Amino acid sequence: MKKIILIILVIFIFGLGTWFAVYGLSSYRAQSAEREKTEFLNKEIEQLLDARRSDAEKIETADPFGEDGVARVLLVGLDRRTGDTKGHCDAIQLVTIDKKNQKVTITAVPRGTYSPLPPGEKHLPTDYYVSKSCEVGGLDYGIGQIEKILGVKSDYLVVVGFSEALGIFRYLDLPATETLEWLRHRQGYAIGEPQRAHNHSTFIKQMMIKFVPEESSVIDKALQYIIYKTVQTDLSFSEARAIVDALSAMDLKNYTERISLFMKPAYAVQDIPYAEEYLGEYLDKMIKPLKDILPGDAYSGLSEEEVQTKLLEIINEKKEDPEFISWAFENNLWLQIEDKDKRLATQYDIISEYILSLSEKTERENILADYILEMENYGEDEWAEKGKDLLVEEIDW
The CATH number linked to 149 is 3.40.630.190
236 near 229, Cβ under 8 Å?
A: no
Residue 77 has pLDDT above 80, yes or no: yes
- Same domain for 246 and 312, yes or no, is no
- Same domain for 270 and 316, yes or no, is no
Alpha-carbon torsion, ordered 109, 112, 114, 115, to 10 deg: 80
Q: How high is the pLDDT of residue 339?
A: 93
Question: Is residue 44, in this structure, part of any structural domain at all?
Answer: no
Question: Is residue 271, in this structure, part of any structural domain at all?
Answer: yes
Q: What is the pTM of this model?
A: 0.79
Question: Is residue 161, in this structure, part of any structural domain at all?
Answer: yes
* pLDDT tens readout for residues 79-133: 765 545 567 788 999 999 999 999 999 999 999 999 999 887 788 888 899 999 9
Q: How high is the pLDDT of residue 60?
A: 53
- Same domain for 169 and 309, yes or no, is no
- Same domain for 213 and 269, yes or no, is yes
> Of 260, 290, 320, which residue sits at a domain end?
290
Q: What are phi and psi of 59, to 5 degrees?
A: -115, 115
Q: Write the burial class of residue 276 (CB in 10 Å: 0-12 exposed, 13-18 middle, 19+ buried).
A: middle
Which of left, alpha, beta for 60 (phi over 0: left; psi -120 to 50: alpha)?
A: beta
- Same domain for 261 and 315, yes or no, is no
Looking at the 3D structure of the chain, how many domains does it have? Answer: 2
- Same domain for 216 and 313, yes or no, is no
> Of 261, 290, 319, which residue sits at a domain end?
290
- Same domain for 224 and 87, yes or no, is yes
Q: State mean pLDDT over 360-375.
A: 92
- Same domain for 264 and 355, yes or no, is no
Least confident of 24-33, 227-236, 291-300: 24-33
> Of 290, 321, 341, which residue sits at a domain end?
290
Enclosing domain of residue 366: 304-395
- Same domain for 173 and 281, yes or no, is yes
Q: How high is the pLDDT of residue 251?
A: 94
Question: Is residue 85, in this structure, part of any structural domain at all?
Answer: yes
In three-state secondary structure terms, 264 is coil
Question: Is residue 3, in this structure, part of any structural domain at all?
Answer: no
Q: How high is the pLDDT of residue 40?
A: 55
Amino acid residing at 362:
T
Residue 158 has pLDDT above 90, yes or no: yes
- Same domain for 325 and 354, yes or no, is yes
What's the mean per-residue pLDDT of the chain?
82
Question: Is residue 31, in this structure, part of any structural domain at all?
Answer: no
pLDDT bracket for residue 347 (50, 70, 90): very high
pLDDT bracket for residue 13 (50, 70, 90): very low
Question: Is residue 323, in this structure, part of any structural domain at all?
Answer: yes
Q: How high is the pLDDT of residue 360?
A: 92
- Same domain for 176 and 325, yes or no, is no
Alpha-carbon torsion, ordered 76, 208, 238, 347, to 10 deg: -60
Q: State mean pLDDT over 182-190.
A: 85
Question: Is residue 64, in this structure, part of any structural domain at all?
Answer: no
- Same domain for 264 and 322, yes or no, is no
* pLDDT tens readout for residues 261-316: 999 999 999 999 999 888 888 888 876 665 554 444 444 556 778 888 999 999 99
Q: What are phi and psi of 283, to 5 degrees?
A: -65, -40
For residues 302 and 321, the model is more confident at 321
